[in-house]
């Protein structure tokens, strides 16, 4: 509602913030602090995921059709769930405590989002015409 499709990439820094906030969870020991913190973290996650998901589906629909786009997205989501579950298992298998695994997970999330941000910035410099073309498609689509 607040984020247009052509501005969806502006939420990428929120992913970095989320990764760092996950690490902050390790220092919360009071339920009265934990509840609002988790609500805020969930809200931030929703505000990050919804525009990114809409952008992914829009570009996927334009490139390969809606059905294939959704199938590829679902495959990648399931693969990430398995990889992150495996990542947690490796962390605990290496002797990391739950706090250590949470910190490692937060760093992975923040790091990946930072890499995505850098990749997007690089695309803006290297392929400005293509990025502008994609933005024009997003602006002209009446279904967003």
Asked whether the predicted pLDDT for residue 1 surpasses 90, the reply is: no
Residue 3 lies in a domain: no
What is the C-alpha separation between 91 and 105, in angstroms, rounded?
Answer: 9
Tell me the backbone φ, ψ of residue 86, rounded to 5 degrees: -65, -40
Residue with tokens 């992913």: 15
pTM of the complete model: 0.82
Tens digit of each residue's pLDDT (9 = 90 or more) over 29-88: 999 999 999 999 999 988 888 888 888 888 777 778 878 888 888 998 999 999 999 999
Cβ neighbours for 33, distance < 8 A, ≥ 6 positions apart: none
Residue 54 lies in a domain: yes
Residue 18 lies in a domain: yes
- Which domain, by its residues, includes 68? 11-140
Residue 118 lies in a domain: yes
What is the C-alpha separation between 32 and 100, in angstroms, rounded?
Answer: 23
The count of domains in the chain is 1
Residue 1 lies in a domain: no
Tens digit of each residue's pLDDT (9 = 90 or more) over 2-36: 677 778 888 899 999 999 999 999 999 999 999 99
Residue 50 lies in a domain: yes
């Amino acid at each position: 509602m607040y984020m247009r499709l052509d501005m969806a990439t502006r939420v990428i820094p929120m992913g970095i913030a989320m990764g760092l906030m996950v690490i902050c969870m390790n220092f919360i020991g009071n339920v009265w602090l934990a509840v609002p913190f988790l609500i805020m973290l969930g809200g931030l996650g929703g505000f990050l995921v919804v525009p990114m998901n809409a952008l992914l589906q829009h570009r996927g629909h334009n490139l390969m059709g809606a059905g294939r786009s959704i199938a590829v997205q679902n495959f990648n989501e399931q693969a990430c769930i398995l990889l992150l579950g495996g990542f947690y298992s490796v962390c605990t298998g290496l002797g990391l405590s739950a706090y250590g695994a949470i910190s490692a997970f937060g760093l992975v999330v923040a790091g990946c989002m930072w890499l995505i941000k850098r990749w997007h910035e690089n695309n803006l410099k290297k392929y400005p015409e293509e990025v502008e073309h994609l933005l024009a498609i997003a602006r002209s689509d009446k279904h967003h």
